[in-house]
Structure 1
Amino acid sequence: MSIYVGNLSYSVTQDDLTETFAEYGTVKRVQLPTDRETGRMRGFAFVEMATEEEETAAIDALDGAEWMGRDLKVNKARPREDRRSSGGGGWQGRGGSSRRF
């Protein structure tokens, strides 16, 4: 399981997050997603701690706390939803021809 950290400054680094979360235990991994087109940070991160107790301590301490000029949103990360198409190819089952008559 990992922790979702939202409302981050766009200037935050992995080292910044590692240092802050290390106060509550062992940080196993920090993931900072970036925008595919711009390469810019997306304003949130995922932090993985060594134990569930460490995760809980970090969440309790940091959720709503001001950090780098922003009020953090910190909670347990939810499993990623499957965003694949449900099928049909956009034609809603009406055939696949793109020709106009």
Structure 2
Amino acid sequence: MEHVEVDMAGAEGTPDNNETELEDMQKRLKEMEDESAALREMQAKVESQMASTQDPGSAAATQANREEADSRSVFVGNVDYSCTPEEVHQHFQPCGTVNRVTIRTDKFGQPKGYAYVEFLETEAVQEALLLNDSELHGRHLKVTAKRTNVPGMKQYRPRRPNPYMRASSPIAAPYLYSPYGYGKVPRFRMPMRYSPYF
């Protein structure tokens, strides 16, 4: 039998190697702590900026700016789909100095058929309202003063009541539907069975 000796010192490594690895790990840990401190500082700066922009005073100021711009703007309806902002600009040029023309589009880039015209002077809005029912590209424009949207407020449209579902209705008094299956009351039909011949 042969006797095999294993060098345990070589397997564990020298003390110098362990010390250098420990120093490297401590350096990396220090760098990571510095980076995390820098990130915390940047996050605090961003949060303070966000808080200052959401300040109620600044929100009121932006709302006031929006209301002031809306007082110098008009809504133009029934705009032809092939009409360009330059043509709308030329059409409203006699009223006053046009600051901006916005033709609204859908998510595919197709015009929705209406536009907003913003003037530099408030007096130009009254002149622009005189162009109501004027013709551009063969269509009669509908010009009204632009209203200011209040954030969070949607226009409430109440639903029309169904006259056949009232309890006072003679048809729907004892039944929820017409007992004979015809008439103005909607019928509840059984779903059709699958037929392979259709």
TM-score using structure 2 length: 0.39
1-structure distance, mates of 2:121, 2:92: 13
Q: % of aligned pairs identical?
A: 36
Which of 96, 113, 116 is residue 46 of structure 1 equivalent to?
A: 116
Shift of 1:83: 5.9
Q: 1:55 to 1:39 in 2, by over 3 A?
A: same
Deviating runs (4+, > 6 A) in structure 1?
Answer: none
Pair member with larger Rg? 2
- Within 5 Å, give how 1:62-77 maps onto structure 2: 62-77=131-146
- Greater RCO between the two (CA within 8 Å, min separation 6)? 1
Shift of 1:82: 3.9
1-structure distance, mates of 2:133, 2:128: 11
Shift of 1:65: 1.3
Give 1:6's aligned amino acid: G
2-structure distance, mates of 1:55, 1:84: 25
Shift of 1:81: 4.8
Q: 1:22 to 1:41 in 2, by over 3 A?
A: same
Quick check: 1:8 aligned with 2:43?
Answer: no
Count of equivalent residues:
83
Name the Cα RMSD after superposition: 1.7
Shift of 1:24: 1.2
